[in-house]
Structure 1
Amino acid sequence: MSTETLNKELLRGGQFLVKETKCEDVFTLEDLSEEQKMMRESTKEFVDRELWAHWERFEQKDYAYTEECMKKAGELGLLSVAVPESCGGMGMGFVSTMLVCDYISGATGSFSTAFGAHTGIGTMPITLYGTEEQKQKYVPKLASGEWFGAYCLTEPGAGSDANSGKTKAVRSKDGKYYSISGQKMWISNAGFCKLFIVFARIEDDKNITGFIVENDPDNGISLGDEEKKLGIHSSSTRQVFFNETKVPVENMLSERGNGFKIAMNALNIGRIKLAAACLDAQRRVTGEAVKYANERIQFKTPIANFGAIKVKIARMATNAYAGESACYRAAKDIEDRIAIREAEGNSHQEAELKGVEEYAIECSILKVAVSEDVQDTTDEGIQIFGGMGFSADTPMESAWRDARISRIYEGTNEINRMLAVGMLVKKAMRGHVDLLGPATAVGEELMGIPSFETPDFSELFSEEKELLARLKKVFLMVAGSAVQKYGTELDKHQQLLMAASDILIEIYMAESTLLRTEKNAKRFGEDSQAAQIAMAKLYLYEAVDTTIQKGKEAIVSFAEGDEQRIMLMGLKRFTKYTNQPNVVALRTQIADKIAADGGYTFD
């Protein structure tokens, strides 16, 4: 496909809401190249051998083993997938980096955190913002695992408000270095890293500045004790104290005052990769739960045969399948956007930054959806195990605790919910996404007479796609009216934003699931995709329920009288099924397939 063609067919970030996507245009796990499949298998082998087989060691706060495994990952090249070849890395595309992040993260949250902190926020700011000298000096060591990186942004008084940090950087009189003083907290990899990405404020600058700081205890750097945490027990997490730490001026990262921009762009990439890092945990927990359910006999039958257990298995598998569908769809969109920008003359650094930034809305959506799904999955896993699930002798208990941090990492889910809608509105104001036209059309439709014709639903997913289009109208109705009412004050109505965001999230996740399944049904045959078709229908059914609940919540929060009545009638009209699916049958079909396969096999 030529760049010109790609540019015409590739939707911009957020446009999924107002433009139709063809199933042929989405990327799925079934589209992996042979090289990517080999990479996936080698990653899984490493995880099974070094991580999953020793999960108890990670629960025993064996920080040294985490570091040892990170070195082994470096030897296998797993730390260098996203690093450009010019810096000693593999220079592979965004999908491949997502793939490794996905499959290396399933066994233990401790290693997943160490890996993500190092390859993402510990290395990426240098590859994307560093000078050529900085990249050549530091990145090859980080790519090979000779050095490990950490990211020092959070402070006691600066969490979600990242730009409010009080760490200071004072330039020396001779102009050769900066002295950094301040306190950072919750720093992953602090106990064994050789390099920090540190954010500090110069004088009274409005925005913070980034610095590359080598970890030298003789240069005013000291560490607090290892934090006592709910989960990720073998992830080294410490406070870091800087006391007039001297940093050469050439180690400033990017320009003065550009630190907040670096931090935000790092978070965009971190969000979609965090979503990927939650996927294999869902697969493995589902697999362990199904294995136990098949073996656990109660009332003379495996508990996998009980309807109450089938509900849980179907829910776990469906959420994992939806997460895969959405994550790899977005990853390929980002990869294609990067390729387009490079073809237009952008440097790789600029192309990757702008490519990811283009899909910041989708990154926030995925971060919220998949982090909450992995928490639900681990919770259901414990429930299937019963009393054994609550015991630390099984991996369910640790998986549940490890999953909890994912809703806080990379900006809390509350922040990301509000960001998703806020960024979409800003894109609309810039003319990047046309929300006004479709929202106006929905308003006119509400005042018109509804059609009573029965549509032709003879093709696969024809009714589901028509219903999905109406869910988009619900969002446009709610968001359009809210923007009209509150204008620039919209960001002050957080509960409204969060309700609207939940509708937006369900639309993207449900659409991704339908498109993946439709694409595979066309090329592999519907019979081979029977369980996947059931999962796509089940996910949409639950998305409709969420839309009804959150739509009501949003509408009554700002509309009154006739306006409220009309919008509630519209909500009912837009969320109505013509042929209500038998969700009990769908869940049973999915659970029976998983039980027969002995685990999750849809990847």
Structure 2
Amino acid sequence: METKQKDIIRGGQFLVKETLCDDIFTPEDFSEEQKMMKEAVIEFNDREIIPHKARFEAKDYALTEEVMRKAAELGFLGVSVPEEYGGLGMGFVSTMLTCDYISSGTGSFSTAFGAHTGIGTMPITLYGTEEQKQKYVPKLATGEWFGAYALTEPGAGSDANSGKTTAKLSDDGKSYVINGQKMWISNAGFCSLMIVFARIEDDKNITGFIVEFDKNSPNGITLGEEEHKLGIRASSTRQVFFNDTVVPAENMLAGRGEGFKIAMNALNIGRIKLAAACLDSERRITTTAVKYANERKQFKTPISDFGAIKVKLAEMATNAYVGESASYRAAKNIEDRIAMRQASGNTHQEAELKGVEEYAIECSILKVAVSEDVQHCADEGIQIFGGMGFSEDTPMEAAWRDARIARIYEGTNEINRMLCVGMLVKKAMKGHVDLLGPAMKVQEDLMGIPSFDTPDYSALLSEEKAMVAKLKKVFLMVAGAAVQKFGPALEEHQQLLMAASDILIEIYMAESAILRTEKNAKRFGEDSQKEQIAMSKLYLYQAVDIVEKKGKESIISFAEGDEQRMMLMGLKRFTKYVNYPDIVDLRNEIAEKVKSENKYCF
């Protein structure tokens, strides 16, 4: 596919540069190959995973391994692996799509699949030597071996670089001896290979190693018992203990002290794929809920006719649509950036690493937003089912439990919130995103006299696009003033960073939905997008409320006197509609559509 360089904005630049709807990718842009892959994955999910949900919930770890082998036979484990290493060599959007549609049957399989294809395989693909890739990646791509990722320790969770596991070079220099303990290791019970992080001597940063694991010849590796977890019950999760585990020196991954960099970049990829892994769960939960609401009668009326239920159905569908819009927008940006880098002479490894790293801000935004939306979706699903929703006999209870982990792994949502603002500020300081110029312009706007002209909002979604532009001014106003006041010490003000990140998240998510809807209305006609227009407006209305609340919280936390009064006036101006949407009508319109289709239908 031809890539137009001028249209690919850099990571974080969505905040300061206008994105045209024609320049974003939407699920309606899937190629024929991608549509075929989507159908193949859905068919696999419906045949191999969903009918066996009870077995997964009963902690049938052998079933998880068996289904992983079946996924391997169809090539699903090697979608993103280059063809020369036994994979399908498909682009980033296709890898997202596979992760999206294979993940909805149960969180247990989703976790096993994500851990293997993402953090179990990708570090070798992206950081391995040619010899390491030839030796290990084909086995992982074909499912001959399964991979795991051993980073977390009892005392090193969010502070991943503080791990105590050690690696000591042998006297002959031919191997390293690893000692230590890792915990929460997905796939530990059936893996043949682990990416293990350990510290050499007093190095500042940890180092990565490829460690083979054969239960018949354990090499000093012992496993704890399977963890009994709230959700993802058939995902094998164990502690791993290393006692004088000997690893050949050539199995060091990248260079000495490069482990922290590997860990962080692997997590960037993991974050956007985790967002994808939540999407079809939202769609299926919404479908299950609306089917029940259409069938369940109270006071001789289907409960889907009640306004209180319509609110839930409308917002569940809206959040799924918005999450999907933003996830595929970012995925295509990454794919295009990778293609650009390869065209300019980068290797596949360099191009993919830098392509994903470029959009690390968007990856963190998506991880937070979609993981919280899927939890809310499952929670509302239980509520629609009422007492039945609390029972293990209905699917909502398991969906709610499985969704809960998504806010914790790949970096907690609190860490990701602080990261996305911190990374944006760092990009600005490096000159990759011009925040200073636009922030100064907002300050000038605050000092000037506001226009009292009534703008022309006759074009489709024109007021919504103007509102998004104003919300960007709120972020620039708050973040600009905070950086001026605190400088590098801003990272110590975590509550301020969290509030600013919520503003940033809402901007990206709302804009993504609006641009998708505008693009599809232009090519398919407005009548075909009536409910999508309603969802875009509904989400934005709620985003404005969040931005106003978080903006106020931020301003009064660090500004005083005239500065505070001026910024609060600016906040009021930047969050005010000219024509407020009737959100009751919007919700009713969306709910009636899913009711009539008896499923999530967007």
Same fold (TM over 0.5): yes
SS in 1 for 2:194: strand
Letter paired with 2:445: E
SS in 2 for 1:150: strand
Letter paired with 1:509: M
Q: How big is each residue's C-alpha offset from its partner over 1:476-534, in whole Å with a ceiling of 9 and x where there is no partner?
A: 00000000000010000000000000000000000000000000000000000000000
Residue in structure 2 matched with residue 292 of structure 1 by the alignment? 292
Q: How big is each residue's C-alpha offset from its partner over 1:463-488, in whole Å with a ceiling of 9 and x where there is no partner?
A: 11111100000000000000000001
2:264 is aligned with 1:264: yes
Deviation at 1:2, TM superposition (A): 5.4
Residue in structure 1 matched with residue 135 of structure 2 by the alignment? 137
2:69 is aligned with 1:71: yes
CA distance in structure 2 between the aligned counterparts of 1:530 and 1:595, rounded to whole angstroms: 15
Residue in structure 2 matched with residue 398 of structure 1 by the alignment? 398
Residue in structure 2 matched with residue 546 of structure 1 by the alignment? 546
2:576 is aligned with 1:590: no
Residue in structure 2 matched with residue 505 of structure 1 by the alignment? 505
Q: Please list, as runs of the form range in 1=range in 2, the aligned pairs for 1:379-458 lying within 5 A after superposition.
A: 379-458=379-458
Q: How big is each residue's C-alpha offset from its partner over 1:534-579, in whole Å with a ceiling of 9 and x where there is no partner?
A: 0000000000000011011000000111111111110000000000
Residue in structure 2 matched with residue 194 of structure 1 by the alignment? 192
Query: Which runs of 4 or more aligned residues in structure 1 lie more than 4 Å from their structure 2 counterparts after TM superposition?
Result: none
Deviation at 1:107, TM superposition (A): 1.1
SS in 2 for 1:491: helix
SS in 2 for 1:278: helix
Residue in structure 1 matched with residue 209 of structure 2 by the alignment? 211
Q: How big is each residue's C-alpha offset from its partner over 1:160-190, in whole Å with a ceiling of 9 and x where there is no partner?
A: 0000001000111111111000000000000
2:48 is aligned with 1:50: yes
SS in 2 for 1:21: coil
CA distance in structure 2 between the aligned counterparts of 1:225 and 1:343, rounded to whole angstroms: 48
Residue in structure 1 matched with residue 144 of structure 2 by the alignment? 146
Letter paired with 1:503: I
Residue in structure 2 matched with residue 525 of structure 1 by the alignment? 525
CA distance in structure 2 between the aligned counterparts of 1:481 and 1:34, rounded to whole angstroms: 48
SS in 2 for 1:342: helix
Q: Please list, as runs of the form range in 1=range in 2, the aligned pairs for 1:207-286 lying within 5 A after superposition.
A: 207-217=205-215, 218-286=218-286
CA distance in structure 1 between the aligned counterparts of 2:559 and 2:59, rounded to whole angstroms: 53
Letter paired with 1:7: Q
1:25 to 23, 26, 30: 23
Q: How big is each residue's C-alpha offset from its partner over 1:343-399, in whole Å with a ceiling of 9 and x where there is no partner?
A: 110000000000000000000000000000000000000000000000001110000
Residue in structure 2 matched with residue 108 of structure 1 by the alignment? 106
Q: How big is each residue's C-alpha offset from its partner over 1:264-306, in whole Å with a ceiling of 9 and x where there is no partner?
A: 0000000000000000000000000000000001110100000
SS in 2 for 1:204: coil
Residue in structure 2 matched with residue 177 of structure 1 by the alignment? 175
CA distance in structure 2 between the aligned counterparts of 1:11 and 1:589, rounded to whole angstroms: 34
CA distance in structure 1 between the aligned counterparts of 2:145 and 2:395, rounded to whole angstroms: 30
SS in 1 for 2:105: coil
Residue in structure 1 matched with residue 125 of structure 2 by the alignment? 127
CA distance in structure 2 between the aligned counterparts of 1:278 and 1:409, rounded to whole angstroms: 13
Q: How big is each residue's C-alpha offset from its partner over 1:23-80, in whole Å with a ceiling of 9 and x where there is no partner?
A: 0000000000011001000100000111111111110000000000000000011101
CA distance in structure 2 between the aligned counterparts of 1:314 and 1:71, rounded to whole angstroms: 38
Letter paired with 1:122: G
Q: How big is each residue's C-alpha offset from its partner over 1:124-180, in whole Å with a ceiling of 9 and x where there is no partner?
A: 000000011111111111111111000000000100000000100011111111100
- Percent identity over the alignment is 78
Residue in structure 2 matched with residue 166 of structure 1 by the alignment? 164
Letter paired with 1:199: F
Letter paired with 1:94: F
SS in 2 for 1:269: helix
CA distance in structure 1 between the aligned counterparts of 2:173 and 2:436, rounded to whole angstroms: 52
Residue in structure 2 matched with residue 470 of structure 1 by the alignment? 470
Residue in structure 1 matched with residue 558 of structure 2 by the alignment? 558
CA distance in structure 1 between the aligned counterparts of 2:469 and 2:280, rounded to whole angstroms: 30
Structure 2 gap ranges (5+): none
Letter paired with 2:188: A
Letter paired with 1:492: E
Structure 1 gap ranges (5+): none
Q: Please list, as runs of the form range in 1=range in 2, the aligned pairs for 1:70-109 lying within 5 A after superposition.
A: 70-109=68-107
Q: Please list, as runs of the form range in 1=range in 2, the aligned pairs for 1:310-321 lying within 5 A after superposition.
A: 310-321=310-321
Letter paired with 2:500: A
CA distance in structure 2 between the aligned counterparts of 1:185 and 1:109, rounded to whole angstroms: 19
CA distance in structure 1 between the aligned counterparts of 2:205 and 2:83, rounded to whole angstroms: 32
CA distance in structure 2 between the aligned counterparts of 1:39 and 1:466, rounded to whole angstroms: 37
Letter paired with 2:187: N
Letter paired with 1:483: V
SS in 2 for 1:185: strand
Residue in structure 2 matched with residue 41 of structure 1 by the alignment? 39
Deviation at 1:8, TM superposition (A): 1.6
Q: How big is each residue's C-alpha offset from its partner over 1:392-412, in whole Å with a ceiling of 9 and x where there is no partner?
A: 011100000000000001000
Residue in structure 2 matched with residue 15 of structure 1 by the alignment? 13
CA distance in structure 2 between the aligned counterparts of 1:559 and 1:227, rounded to whole angstroms: 47
CA distance in structure 2 between the aligned counterparts of 1:151 and 1:426, rounded to whole angstroms: 28
SS in 1 for 2:454: coil
Q: How big is each residue's C-alpha offset from its partner over 1:316-355, in whole Å with a ceiling of 9 and x where there is no partner?
A: 0000000000000000000000000001100000000000
Residue in structure 1 matched with residue 569 of structure 2 by the alignment? 569
SS in 2 for 1:146: coil
SS in 2 for 1:317: helix
* Root mean square deviation, CA, Å: 0.7
SS in 2 for 1:151: strand
The alignment's TM-score, normalised by the length of structure 1, stands at 0.99
2:59 to 51, 58, 61: 61
SS in 1 for 2:208: strand
CA distance in structure 2 between the aligned counterparts of 1:228 and 1:480, rounded to whole angstroms: 46
CA distance in structure 1 between the aligned counterparts of 2:36 and 2:302, rounded to whole angstroms: 36
Letter paired with 1:443: Q
- Count of residue correspondences: 600
2:325 is aligned with 1:329: no
CA distance in structure 2 between the aligned counterparts of 1:198 and 1:144, rounded to whole angstroms: 21
SS in 2 for 1:532: helix
SS in 2 for 1:242: strand
Letter paired with 1:305: D
Q: How big is each residue's C-alpha offset from its partner over 1:196-240, in whole Å with a ceiling of 9 and x where there is no partner?
A: 000000111111000000013430000000001110000000000
SS in 2 for 1:451: coil
Q: Please list, as runs of the form range in 1=range in 2, the aligned pairs for 1:293-372 lying within 5 A after superposition.
A: 293-372=293-372
Deviation at 1:9, TM superposition (A): 1.5
The alignment's TM-score, normalised by the length of structure 2, stands at 0.99
